């Protein structure tokens, strides 16, 4: 398995030159676009990695999977999907047009920014600090870490340049999909996006989803199977921004990307995969990461679709 991962790395790392790092969040523009890290966690508990797989980076939109897992656990499925849909949009992740034009009057899914902001607003706690502390405690338990670190520089950079997200959030408030103060909900959202994970961490989380919520490393059930299956289904249809359909055709496994360069993928009953490659395509997906997952899917016959 390590040999296959090494070979895929050597082939995929060439694709970093076809992308560029995110610059709409100024702090992310400082990332090294030539980097690539790949990690694989198998159902027998083995971890394989290559490149910058141990380097921590901000998860950005992958946090939408993490926050959904948390809120499903603490609030339940009915509470979440009363305010957020389960359908793909085909629009960019930060689009606002569907909120204005759809008769649904709620975000189409939890993995676009509008849906993720609603989910962040459902986190329990009296203050933003209390909400994010409880969330980070959940994440630490999820991946078996002592503590979860938030990149303060990226958090502040994102908070200072978030005009589009503020417009989305205020529209959500008008639709009565956010309770409490808009800025409090946004503060939680910006902080969750700045959580630091590595590709290895993502692979471990992906493995837990692959096993329907069972963590073979900690030997316990983290999520109930229904929650894990909801998340994987949404990852399949909505996880790769407006490139989700193409990814399903070319790679064929549930995955979620983030503009920090991460991709977390899961293969039912087999493995979890984590990627770090901050050079992005025009949709916000890692160019080298996409190529690596395509090659791994072909080499190991991973596709589940």
Does 62-193 match 2-60+197-300 at the fold level?
yes
The radius of gyration computed from the CA coordinates of the chain, to the nearest angstrom, equals 18
Mention the CATH class of domain 2-60+197-300: alpha beta
CA count, 13 A, side-chain hemisphere, 173: 13
Stretches where the chain sits below pLDDT 70 are 92, 94-95, 97-98, 101-103
Q: What is the pLDDT of residue 45?
A: 87
Burial grade of 150 (CB within 10 A; 0-12, 13-18, 19 or more): middle
What fold does the segment set 62-193 form as a domain?
A: Beta-lactamase (3.40.710)
Place of tokens 């959202």: 189
| φ, ψ dihedrals at 38, nearest 5° | -130, 140
Is the distance from CB of 190 to CB of 162 less than 8 angstroms?
yes
Residues sharing a CB contact under 8 Å with residue 76, sequence separation 6 or more, in sequence order: none
Q: What is the pLDDT of residue 147?
A: 87
Q: Which residues are catalytic?
A: 61, 64, 189, 241, 259
179-216 burial string, b = 16+ CB within 10 Å, else e?
eeebebbbbbbbbbbbbbbbbbbbbbbbbbbbbbbbbb
**What single string gives the DSSP state of each residue in the chain?**
-HHHHHHHHHHHGGGGGG-B---SSGGGGGS-TT--EEEEEETTS-EEEEESTT--EE-GGGHHHHHHHHHHHHT-HHHHHTTS------S-TT--HHHHH-TT-S-S-TTSHHHHHHHHHTS--SSHHHHHHHHHHHHHHHHT-S---B-HHHHHHHHHT-HHHHHHHHHHHHTT-S-S-HHHHHHHHHHHHTBEE-HHHHHHHHHHHHTTTEETTTTEESS-HHHHHHHHHHHHHHTTGGGHHHHHHHT-S-EEE-TTSEEEEEETTTEEEEEE---B-TTS-BHHHHHHHHHHHHHHT----
Q: What is the pLDDT of residue 205?
A: 96
**What single string gives the DSSP state of each residue in 13-60?**
GGGGGG-B---SSGGGGGS-TT--EEEEEETTS-EEEEESTT--EE-G
How many residues are present in the chain? 305
Among 164, 149, 142, residue whose Cα is nearest residue 25: 164
Domain boundaries, the chain: 2-60+197-300, 62-193
Tokens of 278: 């901050």
């Amino acid at each position: 398995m390590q040999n296959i991962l090494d070979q895929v790395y050597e082939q995929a790392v060439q694709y970093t030159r076809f992308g560029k790092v995110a610059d709409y969040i100024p702090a992310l523009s400082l990332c090294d676009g030539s980097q690539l890290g790949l990690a694989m966690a198998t159902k027998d508990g083995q971890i394989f990695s290559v490149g910058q797989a141990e380097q921590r980076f901000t998860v950005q939109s992958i946090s939408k999977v993490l926050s959904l897992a948390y809120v499903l656990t603490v609030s339940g499925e009915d509470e979440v999907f009363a305010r957020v849909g389960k359908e793909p949009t085909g629009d960019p992740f930060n689009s606002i047009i569907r909120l204005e034009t759809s008769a649904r009057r709620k975000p189409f899914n939890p993995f676009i920014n509008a849906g993720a902001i609603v989910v962040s607003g459902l986190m329990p706690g009296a203050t933003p600090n209390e909400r994010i502390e409880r969330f980070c405690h959940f994440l630490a338990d999820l991946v078996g870490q002592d503590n979860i670190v938030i990149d303060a520089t990226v958090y502040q950079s994102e908070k200072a340049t978030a005009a589009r997200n503020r417009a989305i959030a205020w529209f959500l408030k008008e639709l009565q999909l956010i309770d409490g103060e808009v800025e409090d909900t946004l503060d939680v959202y910006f902080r969750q996006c700045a959580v630091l994970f590595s590709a290895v961490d993502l692979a471990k989380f992906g493995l837990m989803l692959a096993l329907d919520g069972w963590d073979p490393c900690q030997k316990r059930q983290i999520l109930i199977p229904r929650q894990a299956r909801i998340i994987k289904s949404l990852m399949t249809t909505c996880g790769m921004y407006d490139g989700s359909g193409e990814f399903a055709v070319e790679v064929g496994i549930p995955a979620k990307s983030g503009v920090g360069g991460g991709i977390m993928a899961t293969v039912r009953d087999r493995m979890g995969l984590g990627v770090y490659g901050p050079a992005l395509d025009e949709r916000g997906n890692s160019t080298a990461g996409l190529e690596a997952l395509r090659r791994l899917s072909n080499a190991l016959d991973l596709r589940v679709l």
